[in-house]
Each structure stands twice: as structure tokens, then as C-alpha cells.
Amino acid sequence: MTSIRQQTPVSDGKASKDSSTEKPSNYKRLSDDDLFRHSSQYRFWSFTPEQLEQKRIQVNAQAVQSIEEDLRNFVADNKTDLNEEEIKTIEMKAVPVTAEEELKLINLYAKKVQMIAQRLNLPTEIVATSITFFRRFYLENSVHKFEPKAIVLTTIFLACKSDNYFIGIDSFCEKTRGSKEQILKYEFPLLESLKFSLFNHHPYRPLHGFFLDIQAVLHGKVDLSYMGHIYDRCKKRITEALLTDAVYFYSPPQITLSALMIEDEALTTRYLELKFHGNNPDSSADEQKTISQDISISLEKLMTLIRDCKKIIEQSTNTSVEEAKSIAARLYFCQNPEDLLKKLKKRKHDEQDSPRAEKKTRVE
């Protein structure tokens, strides 16, 4: 798989076509790609798949280490009170979750972020920012340290402020039935985990650019109402892509092109072929030159890149509720082993009363 660290991403369609007359000698023109490479999104939040996996393993390992230490201390501190069965129960049930399991839980809650943000009727971009912030927070923190449920609302609250869509805390709490203290309490940790990098390049802006460009390049050959339809579908597809790891490996325009490819492969392929090889009668020779300079990779390479990206976007990030519950239960018992013992006592008590009664595990 290729990552943006190794590949030049294609610029979005409306690649700077500003009049390229004489420039003052010290005036340097930067392409859109150069700009993206200077962005904090690229500097802090772009990884190769190996780097990303390493990161997740590390965050998890650190948390697990401290949880295991806490559990050992708990057992040691209560040595005299604990019987063998109880110690065994702790060893069996209070098992820290793995990096993989963390990811499953995060994926589930990332969808919750999306759902709540959409229910608040927030603009698409802010829904996107909320999802992005939430997922980045858990690249830096383990679910063992910060319960996802607690971070969800803070994420949306900060995303609104960061994207200039201010909602007062009281009104926000009213709409989300959240706790004011809790939401505000996590604002600093969130900001810090985000490395104070709040500016997002979402793939919606390139989508707009590509749509204008597709209509210019394929002038008269595309149906406008059909294009509108595709536009809306691409937007939805992009929001879904933000729930996947594609955002860490590919640049926003690459994700946009992948979304386009998913929605209409023939159209997208034709557009790109014309863009790379075709003589577009509408653009001057000068513009043609600019475009081929901006797109400094071959069509073939780009197509491979898009196909790889598309694969990741289409991979499901669904986590079943059952699975999430069992992961959450373990998180809880790791943090509260005494509750595990209480439960054990209660079960034994119940069994004595009515041996057959099967009690459902209560999950927080």
C-alpha cells in the first residue's frame, strides 16, 4: 500500500489557475500539494499503515501496563480478604483489552459521534471535524484511560467552537442531555491530545473543485441533475471515509477521487484520462501545462493509489453491540475490580436462593 508520505497526491480539480503573468523575482508559487504538506494535518496526522499500527499498539501497551499494575496492587492490598476463587475471577475477568479491541470500541463510538452531531443538525464539515477529533484523540489515548462515552460530547462541543459554529455550553447540554462539568473537564485534555492542531482539510472542498472541473472537462457530456445526485452521494461517502483509516494514509483529494470512483467509476476514469492525456479544447496550452505539472505522477500510479484507498474506505468499521458490550465490561472491571467481587458474591448468593436462575451480566 502506498501512503502520502511516499506519493505525491493529485491536486484538487481547481488547481491554482490564477493568471500566471510575470511574478516578482522573490515571489514563489506553491502548488496545493505543497500547501497540504505544510498543514498540521499532514505534519501530525499522516502515517504509513505500519506507523499507525505501531502507534495503536504502543498506546494500548502503555495503558495495559499500568492497569495490570493497578490490579496487582489491588490483589496485594487485599490479600488477606481475598479467597482463591476471587483472585481467580479477577485474573479471568479483569483482563485489559487489546489494541484491536480498543479500535473496535472507538469505531463504534466514532459512529455515535457522527449520529449525535447529525442529530444536532450541524453542517457536514463540523460533523466531519467531530469525527476526526474523536478518532485522533484515541490515537494518543487508550480507552482504558478515557472512557469513550465521556469524550464524545466534548469532541462535538470543541469541534463546533473550532469551526466557528458556537453553541453555548448550557444550550449544548440541553440539546445533548450532557453534563456541563464533564464536557468542560475534558476540553483541555482533548486539545492537548490533538496537539493543538485544529485545522482540518476535509475532502469536501476538493469534491467541489473536482465537480466544477469534471463539468468543464466533460462539457456537454454529463447530465447536470445526474451530477447533482452523484455530488450528494459522494458527500455521504466522504463522511463514511472519515470513519476509516484512509484519512491517515491518503490526502483529502485522493479520498475524494476514491469516493467518486465508488459512486461512478466510468465517469471518474474518463475524467482522469482526459485530464492526463486528453486535449481539453477548453483550456489553453498554458493551462494544460500547469495541470500536468501539478499532477506529478502518472495516471497509472494514481489509479493504483485510488484503488487502494477505495478498498480501505469500503472496509466495514462496524462493531456489533454485543462485542462492544463485552469490551466495555472488561474495561469497567479492570478499573473497578471490587465490583467484580461484589458481583461474584451476589451470584453465589442468588445461586443459593435459586440455583437455576441465570442472571444477565449488567454492563455499564
Interface with another protein by CB under 8 A: which residues? 18-19, 21-24, 27, 30, 35, 38-40, 123, 125, 157-158, 161-164, 166, 168-169, 183-184, 187-188, 191-192, 196-199, 205
Provide the minimum distance between the beta carbon of 223 and another protein in the complex, in angstroms, as a whole number: 22
Query: CA-to-CA distance for 46 and 4, rounded, in angstroms?
Result: 7
Closest approach of another protein to the CB of residue 180, in Å: 9
Q: Which amino acid is at 78?
A: N
CB of 80 to another protein, least distance (A): 38
As measured in angstroms, the least distance from the Cβ of 5 to another protein is 19
Q: Measured from the CB atom, is 43 or 72 closer to another protein?
A: 43
Residues in the chain: 364
Least separation in angstroms between residue 306's CB and another protein is 24
How far, in whole angstroms, is CA 320 from its chain's centroid?
Answer: 18
Closer residue to another protein in complex, CB, 186/248: 186
DSSP conformational letter for 199: -
Q: Hey, which bits of the chain come out as E strands?
A: none
Q: Give min distance, CB of 170 to another protein, in A.
A: 8
Of 95 and 198, CB closest to another protein: 198
Specify the residue, 204 or 271, whose C-beta has the smaller distance to another protein. 204
Residues 137 and 55: their CA atoms lie apart, in Å, by 12
Nearest alpha-carbon partner for 343 in 357, 334, 333, 328: 333
Nearer to another protein, 24 or 355 (CB): 24
Instruction: Name the phi and psi angles at 235, rounded to 5.
Output: -60, -45
Which residue's CB is nearer to another protein, number 184 or number 216?
A: 184
Q: For the CB of residue 46, give the shortest distance to another protein in the complex, in Å.
A: 15
The answer to whether the Cα torsion of 66, 67, 72, 77 is positive or negative is positive
In one-letter notation, the amino acid at residue 268 is T
Give 20 or 361: the residue with its C-beta nearer to another protein.
20
Give the span between the Cα atoms of 104 and 1, in whole angstroms.
Answer: 22
Grid coordinates of 309: 484507498
Per 3-state DSSP, the chain is made up of helix, strand and coil in percentages (nearest 5) of: 65, 0, 35
Shortest distance (Å) from residue 126 CB to another protein: 11
Q: Which is nearer to another protein, 188 or 226 (CB)?
A: 188
Cβ count near 21 (within 10 Å): 5
Amino acid, res. 238 = I
How many secondary structure helices (H) and strands (E) does the chain include?
19, 0
